[in-house]
Amino acid sequence: MRYAHEVGKVRAAERALMARLPEGALMQRAAAGLASVCARLLPSVYGADVVLLVGSGDNGGDALYAGARLARRGARVAAVAAGSRIHEDGAAALRRAGGRVLDDPAGAEPVVARADLIVDGLTGIGGAGGLREPHATLARWASEATGTVVACDVPSGVDASSGRVDGAAVHADVTVTFGTHKPGLLIDPGAAHCGVVELVDIGLGDDLPDPDVVAPWPVDVRPPEPGPESDKYRRGVVGILAGSRRYTGAAVLSTGGAVRGGAGMVRFASEAEPVDLVRQRWPEVVTTVIDPGAGGALDRVGRVQAWVVGPGLGTGDDAEALLEAVLRTELPVLVDADGLTVLARRRKLLARDAPTVLTPHAGELSRLIGVDRERVEARRLENVRRAAEELTATVLLKGSTTLVAEQDRPVRVNPSGTPRLATAGTGDVLSGLVGALLAGGMPALEAAAAGAYLHGLAARIAAAGPGDAGTAPISAFDVIGALPEAFRLLD
């Protein structure tokens, strides 16, 4: 796992470590790591034009000391002071090494434009609320420049604890972060400003508490492997209630996600038309025609170990009755799509003890918790946590950064997502996939995180195809087809 800590925890760990170190030692560790990364990014340090954008905080000091190290190796280093107060000792070190400090940020545009490398030390991890002038203009010049942009700890303008971006922000090619990742480096919109994130160890490890956010590696999301004694029942039987006469595709796609998601058996139930289509496309699925509004519909489906309900089901009285019946069971349940629309008006249905996974996009989450969609998208971490607490469920918030939250647990960030998933039906595939993992015995948080990872990885595989760079358009069926290869790549 990659662990990320919010600003308050980082500050506390830094204070604890600094109390045991000589004065200035922690900043020198950070500067050494920053300078090392910058040197690797330059074809040659000697003769390179390096510009430091320096604010009043410690990140400005890190940038100045790193610039001094580069200047001693022959780089031409100029620091642009964004205000009257910058780190005095760092500025003195830069001057001693042959660098210079420019006190007029308004005249720095040509210097920034011709730089080979630009180090963003305008604000630190404590910056919030958007950049003021001249910081905002300097951030824009850096983002528009042709040189490589390296952000110090977090790109200026990005909220380190949440990923919020209010106004101007630096678009970095590389972000060098110190001690631990910060949530804003992993969560959009902030993550989109970071480029490649390099973690520099400055010795905080023993002083850091449990993380606030984690991002998995492949080994962290690998589902359990079938054993020698496994059979289709031990591997997990998932029941899917999806589709209608109007939305037949959702039935086929969610069922396909479960079939290719490792379920030992998939039981599908719906009206006659979607059942016929599922039979034709997935002959291995056990199908049942039900009347969604009739009592006892679940009994006709047969025994399952987890339910998926909602994709294409409709939002009328019959769908509501079916959702209510499923949520009254003591089995794990995943609710998606139309099921979420029903839950938005009947949240009391979520009062249950068994695991519940909800998989909304931003619009669906806004209806579930009564928050504007724009605010959900701008404050994804805040609102997915709120939803997990209010709804007493595991909440998988789909989007540019997929987040999985459960009350009193670190939020999982999915690193495998791709914009290629922004096409109709991929959410239905995800619901079936996560449902299969739930039926196989994975806990709700782990099943949702693993499903999101495999889903994104499959989309990347489908978009890549043989011999190209991963830019091909894909369909939801392409994602289903790539799932076996995604599972193989976890090994």
pLDDT at 302: 93
CATH number for position 78: 3.40.50.10260
Q: Is 399 annotated as contributing to ligand binding?
A: yes
Q: Is 74 annotated as contributing to ligand binding?
A: no
Q: Is 400 annotated as contributing to ligand binding?
A: yes
pLDDT at 467: 44
How far apart CA 120 and CA 176 sit, in angstroms, is: 10
How far apart CA 217 and CA 490 sit, in angstroms, is: 9
The alpha carbon dihedral of 426, 449, 490, 434 has a sign of: negative
- Considering only residues 295 and 238, tell me which one the structure prediction assigns the higher pLDDT: 238
Residue 110 shares a structural domain with residue 132: yes
- Parent domain of 328: 218-489
Residue 294 shares a structural domain with residue 253: yes
Residue 253 shares a structural domain with residue 107: no
Residue 149 shares a structural domain with residue 231: no
Question: How confident is the model over 158-179, as a mean pLDDT?
Answer: 95
The per-residue pLDDT for range 340-394, each reduced to its tens digit, is 999 999 999 999 999 999 999 999 999 999 999 999 998 999 999 999 999 999 9
**Structure tokens that stand for 292 in this block:** 């969604």
Query: Angle at Cα 330 formed by Cα 326 and Cα 333, nearest 5°?
Result: 50
pLDDT at 400: 86
Residue 275 shares a structural domain with residue 341: yes
Residue 366 shares a structural domain with residue 278: yes
Whether 307 shows a pLDDT value over 90: the answer reads yes
Residue 366 shares a structural domain with residue 305: yes
The per-residue pLDDT for range 110-150, each reduced to its tens digit, is 999 999 999 999 998 987 778 999 999 999 999 999 999 99
| Residue that terminates a domain, selected from 154, 189, 215 | 215
Q: Is 250 annotated as contributing to ligand binding?
A: yes
Q: Do residues 82 and 55 touch, judged by C-beta distance below 8 A?
A: yes
| Residue that terminates a domain, selected from 166, 197, 215 | 215
DSSP-based three-state secondary structure for 358: strand
Q: Is 127 annotated as contributing to ligand binding?
A: yes
Q: What ranges make up the beta strands (E) of 369-452?
A: 394-397, 403-405, 411-413
The DSSP secondary structure of 205-252, one letter per residue, reads: GGG--S-SEEE--GGGGPPPPP-TT--TTTT-EEEEE---SS-HHHHH
DSSP conformational letter for 132: P
Question: How confident is the model over 242-260, as a mean pLDDT?
Answer: 96
pLDDT at 297: 84
Q: Give Dmax (Cα) for the chain.
A: 83
Q: Do residues 154 and 182 touch, judged by C-beta distance below 8 A?
A: yes
Question: What is the average pLDDT score of the chain?
Answer: 94
| Residue that terminates a domain, selected from 166, 190, 215 | 215
Whether 292 shows a pLDDT value over 80: the answer reads no
Residue 170 shares a structural domain with residue 252: no
pLDDT at 375: 93
Q: Do residues 327 and 333 touch, judged by C-beta distance below 8 A?
A: yes
Q: Is 60 annotated as contributing to ligand binding?
A: yes
Residue 186 shares a structural domain with residue 333: no
Residue 331 shares a structural domain with residue 400: yes
CATH number for position 347: 3.40.1190.20
pLDDT at 234: 76
DSSP-based three-state secondary structure for 120: strand
The DSSP secondary structure of 57-84, one letter per residue, reads: SHHHHHHHHHHHHHHHTT-EEEEEESSS
Q: Is 128 annotated as contributing to ligand binding?
A: yes
Q: Is 339 annotated as contributing to ligand binding?
A: no
Q: Is 125 annotated as contributing to ligand binding?
A: yes
Rounded to 5 degrees, φ, ψ at 378 are -75, -25
The per-residue pLDDT for range 270-286, each reduced to its tens digit, is 999 999 999 999 999 99
pLDDT at 465: 59
Domain count, the chain: 2
Residue 253 shares a structural domain with residue 142: no
pLDDT at 46: 98
Q: Is 312 annotated as contributing to ligand binding?
A: yes
pLDDT at 221: 94
On the 0-12 / 13-18 / 19+ scale of CB atoms within 10 A, 78 is buried
Question: How confident is the model over 446-470, as a mean pLDDT?
Answer: 85
Whether 491 shows a pLDDT value over 90: the answer reads no
Residue 152 shares a structural domain with residue 112: yes
The alpha carbon dihedral of 131, 134, 135, 141 has a sign of: positive
Whether 468 shows a pLDDT value over 50: the answer reads no
With pLDDT > 90 as the criterion, what percentage of the chain qualifies? 89
pLDDT at 32: 98
Q: Is 62 annotated as contributing to ligand binding?
A: yes
Q: Is 156 annotated as contributing to ligand binding?
A: yes
Q: What band does 83 get if pLDDT is binned at 50, 70 and 90?
A: confident
DSSP-based three-state secondary structure for 361: coil
Q: Is 465 annotated as contributing to ligand binding?
A: no
pLDDT at 470: 62
Mention every residue, 6+ apart, whose C-beta is less than 8 A from residue 51: 77, 78, 79, 80, 108, 111, 112, 115, 117, 118, 119, 147
Q: Is 408 annotated as contributing to ligand binding?
A: no
